Amino acid sequence: MNAPNKSGWKPSTPAGTEGKFGGPSTTTGNKALMLEEALIFEIGTTDTTGVDLPEIDASAPSKLGGFARDAEIGLPGLAEPEAVRHYTRLSRQNYGIDLGFFPLGSCTMKHNPRLNEKVARMPGFADVHPLAPVDTVQGALGVINELAHWLITLTGMHGVAMSPKAGAHGELCGILCIRAALEARGDAREVVLVPESAHGTNPATAAFAGYKVEDIPANSDGRVDLDALKARLGPDVAAVMITNPNTCGLFEPDLREISDAVHAAGGFVYCDGANFNAIVGRVRPGDLGVDAMHINLHKTFSTPHGGGGPGSGPVVLSEALSPYGPLPYTARTKDGQIHLIEEEQADAFSDEHFGGKMNSFGRMTAFHGQMGMYTRALTYMLSHGADGLKQVSEDAVLNANYILRAMEDVLHAPYAHSGPCMHEALFGDKDFAEGLTTLDLAKGLIDEGYHPMTMYFPLVVHGAMLVEPTETESKATIDQFITAFRSVVERAKNGDQSLKTAPHYAPRSRLDETMAARKPLLSYVEADAD
Amino acid sequence: MRYLPLTDTDRGEMLKAVGADNIDDLFVDVPEVARLSGPIGDLPMHAGEMAVEKHMRQLSKQNLAAADAAFFLGAGAYRHHIPASVDHIIQRGEFLTAYTPYQPEIAQGTLQMLFEFQSQVARLYGCAVANASMYDGSTACWEAVAMAGRITKRSKAVLSGALHPHYTEVVKTMAKFTGDEIADSAPSVQAQPDNAGLIARIDDNTSCVVVQYPDILGRMPDLAELAEAAHAKGALLIAVNTEPVALGAIKSPGELGADIVVGEGQAIGVGLQFGGPYLGLFAVRDKKHVRQMPGRLCGETVDADGRRGFVLTLSTREQHIRREKATSNICTNSGLCALAFSVHMTLLGEKGLRQLAGENHRLACMAAEKLAAVPGVTVLNESFFNEFTVTIDGDARQIVRELAKDNILAGVSLSRLYPGVDAFSGGLLVAVTETTTEEDIETLCSALKEKLS
């Protein structure tokens, strides 16, 4: 059994079948398993329902204060079989990790274990109200505390703010902690430095927090230009926002030196933890002098991306920033009881836990954060354990380097000379034929059955392609992807015009985004309306 | 390890292929000081499914699940029955394990669902356009305040005292960093919301008036009157709804003149989950404000072959294009919760939603009547949907804690929401939904009778 696929079977398109998939048109628009589906507004009616509830008793007393709704809302209903079929048919027009390889750089599209889903649905987690008396939710608070302990330990940090709802919300949390800490010492600083390769949320976050954003240039190795950074530091710089590993997929070897320089100048270091999957279990950001870092539980810790959220973005904090973190937080007292520290108890808990005053900058969200993600992430951590998480980062990095080295002879890899990459490999479109772009290549990969890599990010590389395989892919999957990737790259370099109209085999061909933006149609309108 | 497909043989071959002797060669850029070796703190080693499940089950059993109690908690998170097919659909891997639909040709499932979701929310709210969702109601509320500032170019937001206090805190926290002025006040515990007091606080620098409907005490503020007063001063009316089921029974905020309508969608399809993930809803009554909206928007278009399709659109408002000039730093939405909401809403349909709202209101009226008959209990509200405030002769928070020992979750005390306000110590919010039985109501009434006698 140590030689899988003894027969040597390979997927292929038999000779003579080219063009066959166009086929004749059908009356339904369907093509066998590729099924078209109308909108619920076109198939449902306002008097159809998929639930069984009592009829409204018109004579029952009403306490609605004269606000009873009379006009029709216009919400279509479907009976259960029709509803299940509608969404099942829609689902089949989606690509997901469960379906195939999804190397979307900086998004960490790893397998989502189903044990996580099972645990999150235990009634003791799923069916618990956030404002239930704390005596009745000790297990839920226990989950938060246990997860907090894992996050603090894995990152070598002092504290963690659990409540941020997503990565960008976590970034905001970190920057607000920094601003609160600076204000507490009466130090009004105005500038946040952000590398030019940074994710768009970094400058947006800093600007929101009231800071002026300045770019830090990159050096020819794709890393932060240390000298330029040091030269810019001064009494007006509140923080430096760094992504490590950075968005070029490279570790920032000077981060410790950067942190020391920033601290010496009185500023703080924010680390974007989007790429933590590359180093979890092998490197603790706390050892590199980081003051705040958000962790995307939906990336490194396998909670599902769900077609665009919900995410979860706890922020680990240094000792200097911990007292400023947002409410609420959880804390265990000496008697073993876990307490939820909301606005009212914050002062009482200060001394015991921070050796000084808790000075929270306030509340970022109602209730306590993404509990449903905490249970999933904790389940994942317990499954892997400390040893397994180290293997996670190692396999993720190995898979990415394997792709980098397998591609660099055919595809421009601007930083391949810098040494090994971390968990993602970055390429550019330099050698493509005139008129063919990264977008065309990505659409060609769709026809090959893959979800494309991240395109045009980071901005520092022309026509960037950022490939992140993650650790949950087999060598066979990656080998097959490399074969397909190389062939599509060759087509792009050779000027294969069929790429311009790809994808040819997806549920839709290219969509007209210009028309969508010029005449926005964002809500269903009945044909007979104006 | 069950989630890692590489074998040691694979690893050896792959290391060789990349020219590395061992895995450490790939981490050469990590400085010596930051390299971990050996165990990490006190963290345990890997464990099998059975062991992990057992550990988590033990934690879950230390919580009192709503289904095991006579349950009356609300205050922004509501327990409703979720049809079994909702959870089935959201667990389909094509939805669960998809990403943000950046490659629309292979994401039409998510995109069409979002278009339907936006249309459902817009209709429910009486608005022209809704976005593809926000993190939750409280963050949506702040984003609405920020948006009103951009539209009116004014910096003072007037908050109703009867806005959910967590929402108020979120807005105040964010405003500290943007320099906006937030005028808030404590709620007045009286039968009717204090519209006149709120209107008196609107001035020429007011960007928006933020009012919850139904409000934190379950009352119905007259939105039309507030809209008129806000508009007269050039301000926008932001209506906040935390119980979307209510909108099956009462007029929509858009219909009553609210300019921006935001809220929490959790009550439909999402479940309690100890507070998250939830679903922020965000809509504008007039589509002229669309380009100032935060968050993702899905729009209809056609593909190269002329077939109808959907894409994310108007992204020039967003951070990945505009960077520091974006309307918000938000980068995600609450996609899977939006799907749960949309599936549940499709199962309900207009008919089911109205019936659901009717059943909630019927049971809430019954509970109010029975509680009013308990000596020492007074029902405050003249009007309500499925949640109302009672005042009891005693420390409501303490009584809630005591009743919890008998598996009665009696409600959310005002002291939990407004700690330290003595005048609120007898206040208790009681929420009643279709999951509440007449027996639950009797249980609560007799327990209170006993406590207060």
**What CATH number has the domain bearing residue B366?**
3.90.1150.10
pLDDT score recorded for residue B315: 86
In a domain, B334, yes or no: yes
Confidence of residue A21 (pLDDT cuts 50, 70, 90): low
A333 pLDDT exceeds 70?
no
Q: Assess A282–B contact: CB distance below 8 Å, yes or no.
A: yes
Same domain, B129 and B192: yes
Please tell me whether residues B89 and B192 are part of one structural domain.
yes
In-domain check, residue B28 = no
pLDDT at A22: 66
Contacts of B110 in chain A (CB under 8 A): 94, 307-308
User: Would you state the pLDDT for residue A46?
Assistant: 97
Question: Within a domain: residue A429?
Answer: no
Q: Does A332 touch chain B (CB under 8 A)?
A: no
Q: Which residue of B has its CA nearest to A35?
A: B109
What is the tally of helices (H) and strands (E) in chain B? Answer: 14, 15
Q: Tell me whether residues B359 and A53 touch, CB distance under 8 A.
A: yes
B225 close to A (CB below 8 A): no
Q: CA-to-CA distance for B374 and B370, rounded, in angstroms?
A: 7
For residues B338 and B354, membership in a common domain is answered with: no
Average pLDDT, integer, range A142-157: 94
What pTM, to 2 d.p., does this model score? 0.96
Hey, which residues does A500 pair with through a beta bridge? none
Note the helical H segments in A104-247. Answer: 114-120, 123-126, 138-155, 167-184, 201-208, 226-232
CA A510/CA A42 separation, integer angstroms: 24
B215 Cβ under 8 Å from any chain A Cβ: no
Do both B234 and B127 map to the same domain? Answer: yes
A328 to chain B: closest CA residue: B166
Inter-residue contact A117 to B116 (CB < 8 Å): no
- Domain boundary at B291, B324, B344, which? B344
- For A:244-263, CB contacts with B below 8 A are 250-253, 256
- pLDDT reading at A1 higher than 70: no
Domain count, chain A: 1
**Tell me, what CATH number does B307's domain have?**
3.40.640.10
Q: Is residue A336 part of a domain?
A: yes
**What share of chain A has pLDDT > 70, as a percent?**
93
- Can you tell me the distance from the alpha carbon of B65 to that of A124, in angstroms, rounded to the nearest whole number? 5
Instruction: Tell whether A54 is covered by a domain.
Output: no
Ranges of beta strands (E only) in A148-301 are 159-161, 191-195, 212-216, 237-243, 268-272, 292-294
Structural domain range at position B415: 66-82+350-452
8 Å CB contact between B237 and B223 = yes
pLDDT-derived band of residue B295, with 50, 70 and 90 as boundaries?
very high
Q: Rounded to whole angstroms, how far apart are CA atoms A116 and A269?
A: 33
Q: Are residues B414 and B279 in the same domain?
A: no
- Domain shared by B297 and B312, yes or no: yes
| Edge-to-edge strand ranges of the sheet holding B156-159 | B129-130, B280-284, B260-264, B236-241, B206-212, B156-159, B181-183
Q: Which of A98-102, A245-249, B175-179, B231-235 is the least confident region? A: B175-179
Q: Side chain identity at B275, as an amino acid letter?
A: G
Dihedral in degrees, nearest 10, Cα atoms A172, A298, B319, A470: 130
The verdict on B321 and B405 lying in the same domain is no
Q: Which long-range contacts (C-beta less than 8 Å, at least 24 apart) are formed by B445-451?
A: B445/B370, B445/B371, B445/B373, B445/B374, B447/B403, B447/B406, B447/B408, B447/B410, B448/B371, B448/B374, B448/B376, B448/B377, B448/B392, B448/B399, B448/B403, B448/B410, B449/B374, B449/B375, B451/B394, B451/B399, B451/B402, B451/B403
Residue B152 has pLDDT above 50, yes or no: yes
Distance of residue B229 Cα from the nearest chain A Cα, in angstroms: 19
Over residues B3-26, mean pLDDT: 98
Question: By percentage, how much of chain A surpasses pLDDT 90?
Answer: 80
Q: Is residue B53 part of a domain?
A: no
Residue A347 lies in a domain: yes
Each residue's pLDDT tens digit, A441-480: 999 999 999 999 999 999 889 999 999 999 999 999 999 9
B371 and B391 co-located in one domain: yes
Which of B66, B113, B301 lies closest to A129 in CB terms? Answer: B66
The 3-state DSSP class for residue A350 equals helix
Copy the structure tokens of residue A107: 């998004």
Interface of A with B in 473-502 (CB under 8 A): 473-475, 477, 501
Does residue A87 fall inside a structural domain? no
How is A25-87 classified by DSSP, letter by letter?
A: --SSS-BTTB-----HHHH-BTT--SS--PPP-TTS---STT-B--S-----B--HHHHHHHH
Least confident of A200-209, A345-354, A379-388, B193-202: A345-354
DSSP letter at B123 equals H
Let me know if residue B423 belongs to a domain.
Answer: yes
pLDDT of residue A251: 95
- pLDDT at A211 (0 to 100): 94
> How many C-beta atoms surround the C-beta of residue A5 within 10 A?
8
pLDDT digits (tens, 9 = 90+) for B376-411: 999 999 999 999 999 999 999 999 999 999 999 999
Q: What mean pLDDT comes out for the span A174-180?
A: 95
A130 touches chain B (CB under 8 A): yes
Residue A11 phi/psi, 5-degree rounding, is -65, 145
Q: Can the peptide bond before residue A245 be classed as cis, meaning omega within 30 degrees of 0?
A: yes
Q: Are B274 and B260 in contact (CB under 8 A)?
A: no
Chain B residues with CB under 8 Å of A390 CB are 36, 40
pLDDT, tens digit, 9 for 90 and up, residues B32-85? 888 888 778 899 999 999 999 999 999 999 999 999 999 999 999 999 999 999
Cis check: omega of the bond before A61, within 30 degrees of 0: no
In a domain, B294, yes or no: yes
- Encode pLDDT of B185-202 as tens digits: 888 889 999 999 999 999
ipTM above 0.85, yes or no: yes
Q: Which helix (H) or strand (E) holds B391?
A: strand B387-392
Whose CA is closest to B216, among B434, B429, B420? B429
Q: Quick one: B148 and B245 in the same domain? A: yes
Q: Establish if A171 belongs to a structural domain.
A: yes
Give the ranges where B299-437 is alpha helix by DSSP (H).
319-322, 335-372, 396-404, 414-417
Is residue B46 domain-resident?
no
Residue A479 within any structural domain of the chain: no
pLDDT digits (tens, 9 = 90+) for B223-237: 999 999 999 999 999
The residue out of B344, B364, B386 marking a domain boundary is B344
Is A452 in CB contact (< 8 Å) with chain B?
yes
Do residues B137 and B259 share a domain? yes
A491 in any annotated domain: no
- How high is the pLDDT of residue B332? 77
Q: Which of A21-25, A222-226, B142-146 has the lowest mean pLDDT?
A: A21-25
Task: Compute the average pLDDT of residues A11-37.
Answer: 77
CATH number of the domain where residue A260 is located: 3.40.640.10
Indicate if B216 and B300 belong to the same structural domain: yes
Span B75-102, mean pLDDT? 97
Domain end marker among B344, B376, B399: B344
In a domain, B7, yes or no: no
Q: Which domain holds residue A149?
A: 117-376
Residues in A closer than 8 angstroms to B262, CB to CB, are: none
DSSP state of B235: P
**Is B51 domain-assigned?**
no
CB A457 within 8 A of CB A417: no
Q: What is the pLDDT of residue A530?
A: 47
Number of domains in chain B: 2
Same domain, B74 and B143: no
CA gap A403, B120 in Å, rounded: 44
Model pLDDT for residues A303-312, shown as the tens digit of each residue: 999 999 999 9
CB pair distance less than 8 Å for A256 and B13: no
